[in-house]
Amino acid sequence: MPASLEGLVEEARGAVLRPLAEASTLPPGFYTSPDIFEAECELVFRRNWVSVGRASEIPDAGDRFRIDVAGEPLLIVRGKDGEVRALSAVCRHRWMLLGEGAESAGTISCPYHKWTYALDGSLMAAPLMEKAEDFKREACALPSFACEIWNGFIFVNLGGDAAPLAQSLVSLATEFAPWKMDEMEIVGRIEFDQSYNWKVLVDNFMESYHHFAVHPETFEPNYPAALSYTEETGAPYAVARMPHKDDVLAETLFKPLDGIPDRARRSFSVFNVYPSMLLAVLADSVIWYRLEVESLDRFKLTIYLLAHPASLDVPDADALKAFLREATWHVHMEDLPACEGVQRGLMSGAAQAGRLSHLEGAIHAHQKWLLGEFGRA
């Protein structure tokens, strides 16, 4: 680790690794340093499970979609055996990207020289290669990466040596069980290109301290900042609870499933499944922020709106889906100036680590976890 990077990590440890009442944030360099970003790609995103999509997006054999994780181009595809796989999206011939523009097909074909792969990544055809001596087709399969489905979400691990995902999320799976997330439908999707560091959005998402300033009409009247709190999880995720004012039942767009706990009817909760899977869990729906991190200060944000089919058995369901999409877009547009403003402030020579409020415990937990990843062999 370069000396400058070591110094920044040590500074971060001194600020963050304290009790919340004494702690500060990561220093600005953790949001602005190219060396930190490179280390995050290797030590955080390539070694941990990263959520990339929903299994329902590829229901049939041959269905696929493209996504990059830590700069690694991936093709997420459902095979003829029904298995979902994460394959390299780079042709084994001369590195052309595969899967661009294709949503479903019985094979994976390179648009450059028509090398053709089966849905499990094995090479089926390589035209005009008969004069290549000792050419072994079996040696040219697309590399595959570890892939798991948890609660209907597809996760990928590039390192290949991470512990099974479900093993580390037992407590979260128990909490989510009443929502039957594996059966949820995608009822809306919103895409944004974002020009700030990915952690700025994670920080913003995981606290309600900003409700009275940024969301004075959308959140603060019903979910006041002062009532929110965080819980210690002892697991690789953080949670923040947002109780409804006066502890009353919150109004819902759709019909909550039987078995949704009373607390969830009187609040909503936000989760960060480390490193960057952001979930807002409401009584009748789930909102997932998928971050596709591209560079130090750019990422693609796709917001998924999810609901169970039984919850959608209400009058005017399509109009309510449209309303949920519009409301979610509006909330993010309220957050966007704050996130962009923070990014500009981080670039200031006067910027330094800032003290944390008791309302920012989920940020503190995430940043402690990140520093643990930097120190893990």
Q: What is the pLDDT of residues 271-299, one digit of tens each?
A: 999 999 999 999 999 999 999 999 999 99
Quick one: average pLDDT of 48-53? 98
What burial letters (b/e) apply to 135-173, b meaning 16+ CB within 10 Å? eeeeebbbebbbbbbbbbbbbbbbeeebeebeebbeebe
Whether 160 has a pLDDT exceeding 90, the answer reads no
Q: What is the pLDDT of residue 103?
A: 82
User: What angle is formed at CA 63 by the lines to CA 60 and CA 69, rounded to 5 degrees?
Assistant: 130
Whether 73 has a pLDDT exceeding 90, the answer reads yes
Whether 3 has a pLDDT exceeding 70, the answer reads no
Q: Say yes or no: domain 50-161 is CATH 2.30.42.10.
A: no
Q: What is the pLDDT of residues 11-44, one digit of tens each?
A: 999 999 999 999 999 999 999 999 999 999 999 9
- Sign of the Cα torsion 274, 283, 327, 226 reads negative
Q: What is the pLDDT of residue 118?
A: 97
Whether 1 has a pLDDT exceeding 60, the answer reads no
Is 50-161 the same fold as 3-46+170-375? no
Q: What is the pLDDT of residue 100?
A: 82
Give the model's confidence band at 2: pLDDT under 50 very low, under 70 low, under 90 confident, else very high: low
Assign domain 3-46+170-375 one CATH number from 3.40.630.20, 3.30.465.10, 3.20.20.150, 3.90.380.10.
3.90.380.10
Q: What is the pLDDT of residues 74-84, one digit of tens each?
A: 999 999 999 99
Q: What is the pLDDT of residue 302?
A: 98
Pick the range with the lowest mean pLDDT from 62-71, 128-137, 198-207, 334-343: 128-137
Domain limits, the chain: 3-46+170-375, 50-161
**pTM confidence score:** 0.95
Q: What is the pLDDT of residue 5?
A: 85
Quick one: average pLDDT of 141-159? 97
Whether 339 has a pLDDT exceeding 60, the answer reads yes
Q: How far is CA 148 from the centre of its chain?
A: 14
